[in-house]
Amino acid sequence: MTSRVVPAPDALIGRRFDVAVAKMLGLSRSKAAELIDAGQVRVLGRDIARSGSLQDGEMVEIDLPEERETPEPIAEDMPVVYEDEDIVVVDKPVGVAAHASVGWSGPTVLGSLRDRGVAITKLGAAGREGIVSRLDVGTSGLMLVCKSDLAYTEMRRQFAEHEVVKTYHALPQGNLVQDRATIDAPIGRAKVADFRFTVTPAGKPAITHWDVMERFGEATLAKVNLETGRTHQIRVHFSSIGHPLVGDPMYGANPRLAEELGLQRQWLHAMQLEFRHPRTRLWTTVTSPQYPADLAHALDMLRARGQRPAACGQ
């Protein structure tokens, strides 16, 4: 038997402990309760009953049989866009998680960097060392990881105080009415389903700015800047104004359109990071060199569809 310590997943904060454990391990709630009662799953630093609530920042320790421990796969195709003694910025492919978590058996940014011999600071929560911002598994693009203690302390501050300019390219479904606009609407957990978020007065402040880059009629390519960094913020905000991201059925996108465009995930890419370098203090801009193949193919398909001649009588 070995033990594994993982951060409490953001999507499970505030949930009953037995429900959270069931989701993390892919078990029934009764089986999760048995593991908690047996002391095989616990929260570090405090006693928690199965009915207790999982809190933000807590670490969950889980006893695992030896045979469940398998080597983590490596993201061999994850490009490094920028690197120096303090930071490394990767162009994260879709299907790669930021860090290891219970229930995730795929590659991670941290594991893949360490496999390449990149030294990461030890600062940060266990399992999340060096990470000051994350991308969802289903979102590709730039992600910054800190190599030095100095970088971690300073970049964590910059992200927390919203000094970092984060630019995404997104493909909302339909034709956005305005060329430029701001969505200012609080985001909180949705009550209708696990792992979903929604615009709600009880949520945390969230501000999204967008500018239209290209119009296709059935979809609109937009440049998006975030003032805040809520979970699923871009996806939730565009869905809230009736324009879910293409390929995002969780938030209301048309699955048929995604299928026609060859998309198996939401069209969203973290395109650029702008920040003050933690050591030199120079303003630094890092840009993703190109869209991933599936996103580029979807745009090509939309352009081709827009060039088709209209049928007779239309």
DSSP H/E element including 198: strand 197-199
| From 63, 136, 211, 294, the catalytic residue | 136
Q: Take residue 223 and report the two structure tokens written for it.
A: 């440049």
CA 142/CA 92 separation, integer angstroms: 6
Q: Residue length, the chain?
A: 314
CA 245/CA 251 separation, integer angstroms: 8
Annotated active-site residue 63? The verdict is: no
Q: Report the distance separating Cα 28 and Cα 284, nearest Å.
A: 48
Helix (H) or strand (E) holding 306: helix 293-306
Q: Give the pair of three-digit tokens for residue 29.
A: 């709630």
Q: Which are the contacts of 267, defined by CB distance < 8 A and separation ≥ 6?
A: 170, 171, 219, 245, 246, 247, 248, 295, 298
Q: Distance between CA atoms of 154 and 245, rounded to whole angstroms?
A: 33
Q: How far apart are CA 81 and CA 91, in angstroms?
A: 6
> What residues are annotated to the active site?
136
